């Protein structure tokens, strides 16, 4: 375990888990469950910071991260399963057979170069690190059952449904599979971005992680999504497409403009995931910016909880207010930003400030959020102008610049006002 140095992002922020664990309004088993989830969160919280620190290091220092970044080809054992599966559609089977043949050719070349004949012990590692060929045009999804095992080392678990296969009898499996597809479709259709890495990286998910585990997360150690079943207060993680969009966008961020996972840059990292997660949800529900509810994780709260979601982008700080949860602590204006050592410098709490700015811009533009505001934010992340330790005002400046380039002076004024209204203002001299 000492060599594991990547990040893990969790859907449920640590301040919410802490509130559940500390509230005397909760029964002891519930508090203990929250403590367990918080312990797991804390045990991996350094992964994200280290991961993005590695990604944003000078080019010559990125060798350690390179192996993970190249893990974009589909493992041969998964392709074999897809190629042999009788209830996978013919087109997907054909693609899998083609890509499997490519991998085997790569293996053969590697073995010949290394003087290896018949020894396949290194094939799995090589397959995982070799770049995909230009002929790999299909993104493969696969959903596994973790069978309530909470040991991350045992992931992904038992394969249940793969690309092109018919629906399972397990609804969580189908939701994870279908909603991952909706996320991939959004990126492909709206931004012409192929899967997570723009190279058709496969998308793996594991459901039924742990016992009554009230969280879900993206784990780059094994490059996959992991879902708990939830328990007393939080549930339905596989059924929330915005949550899945949020988590998968953390992976997309690694391949666009990696933001250090601390302080303001970390809050922007969380913010970008919320922005694309909410746009995916609005696209699925066919909602314009002015008609949408702008709630992240609204279907994660169990009935009876005094709240509407995990976060509100329209009105940060109003998502919930329950004695068992505490009150949503997100501020909606930079005047309330305070330096803290909690949660990697408040990355989940202060994401509400830029979230409100994106909401402001989207509503001011009108129409669908991804038509103008979303495109501006996407071009910002693609620009190469977002530094690793980006501040709110630096990010705001790039969005204003991109708005002008894409849509003119009036659009730039709209975006600038959106940031000004949340207190992100460049100081005058």
**Distance from first CA to last CA of the chain, Å, rounded?**
50
| Catalytic choice (247, 254, 298, 379) | 247
Each residue of 219-243: b (16+ CB within 10 Å) or e? bbbebbbbbbbbbbbbbbbbbbbbb
Q: Are 266 and 259 in contact (CB under 8 A)?
A: yes
- Count the neighbouring beta carbons within 10 Å of the beta carbon of residue 371: 16
For 387, counting Cβ atoms within 10 Å of its Cβ (0-12 exposed, 13-18 middle, 19+ buried), the class is middle
Set 6, 202, 246, 348: catalytic member: 348
- In angstroms, the CA 168 to CA 369 distance is 34
Give yes or no: 247 in active site: yes
Is 371 an active-site residue?
A: no
The token pair that represents 177 in the structure block: 């599979």
User: How would you classify the pairing of strands 224-227 and 203-207?
Assistant: parallel
Q: Annotate 246-291 with DSSP letters as a single string.
A: HHHHHHHHHTS----SSHHHHHHHHHHHHHHHHHHHHHHTT--TTT
Closest alpha carbon to 40 in 24, 23, 21, 56: 21
Rounded to whole angstroms, what are the CA distances from 112 to 76, 107, 116, 120, 364? 19, 9, 6, 12, 61
Give yes or no for a contact between 263 and 345, defined as CB atoms under 8 angstroms apart: yes
Q: Which helix (H) or strand (E) holds 224?
A: strand 224-227
DSSP letter for each residue of 38-66: HHHHHHHHHHHHHHHHHHTS-GGG-HHHH
Cα distance between residue 29 and residue 35, in whole Å = 10
- Helix (H/G/I), strand (E/B), else coil: 216: strand
3-state secondary structure of 162: strand
Cα–Cα dist 213/146, whole Å:
12
Let me know: does 334 contact 356? Beta carbons within 8 Å: no
Q: Which residues are catalytic?
A: 247, 348
């Amino acid at each position: 375990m000492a060599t594991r140095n990547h990040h893990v992002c969790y859907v449920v922020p640590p301040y919410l888990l802490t509130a559940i664990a500390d509230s005397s309004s909760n029964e002891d088993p519930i508090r203990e469950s929250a403590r367990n989830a918080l312990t797991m969160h804390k045990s991996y919280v350094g992964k994200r910071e280290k991961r993005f620190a590695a990604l944003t290091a000078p080019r010559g220092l990125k060798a350690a991260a390179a192996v993970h970044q190249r893990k974009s080809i589909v493992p041969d054992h998964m392709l074999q399963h897809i190629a042999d599966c009788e209830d996978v559609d013919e087109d997907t089977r054909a693609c899998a057979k083609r890509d499997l043949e490519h991998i085997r050719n790569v293996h053969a070349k590697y073995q010949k170069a290394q003087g290896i004949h018949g020894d396949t012990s290194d094939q799995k590692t090589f397959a995982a690190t070799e770049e995909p060929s230009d002929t790999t045009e299909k993104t493969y999804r696969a959903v596994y059952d973790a069978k309530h095992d909470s040991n991350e080392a045992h992931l992904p678990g038992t394969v249940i449904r793969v690309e092109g296969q018919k629906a399972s009898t397990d609804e969580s499996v189908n939701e994870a599979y279908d909603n991952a597809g909706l996320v991939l479709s959004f990126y492909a259709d709206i931004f012409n971005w192929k899967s997570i890495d723009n190279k058709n990286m496969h998308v793996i998910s594991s459901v039924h992680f742990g016992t009554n585990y009230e969280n879900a997360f993206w784990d780059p150690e094994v490059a996959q999504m992991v879902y708990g079943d939830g328990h007393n207060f939080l549930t339905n993680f596989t059924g929330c497409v915005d949550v899945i969009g949020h988590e998968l966008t953390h992976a997309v961020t690694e391949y666009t403009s990696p933001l250090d996972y601390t302080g303001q840059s970390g809050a922007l990292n969380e913010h970008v995931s919320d922005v694309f997660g909410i746009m995916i949800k609005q696209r699925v529900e066919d909602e314009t910016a002015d008609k949408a509810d702008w709630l992240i994780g609204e279907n994660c709260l169990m009935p009876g909880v005094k709240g509407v979601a995990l976060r509100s982008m329209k009105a940060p700080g109003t998502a919930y207010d329950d004695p068992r949860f505490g009150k949503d602590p997100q501020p909606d204006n930079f005047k309330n930003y305070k330096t803290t050592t909690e949660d990697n410098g408040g990355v989940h709490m202060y994401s509400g400030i830029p979230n409100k700015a994106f909401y402001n811009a989207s509503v001011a533009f009108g129409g669908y959020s991804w038509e103008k505001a979303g495109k501006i934010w996407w071009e910002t992340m693609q620009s190469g102008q977002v530094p690793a330790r980006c501040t709110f005002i630096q990010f705001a400046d790039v969005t204003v610049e991109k708005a002008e380039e894409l849509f003119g002076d009036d659009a730039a004024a709209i975006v600038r006002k959106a940031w000004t209204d949340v207190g992100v203002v460049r100081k005058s001299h």
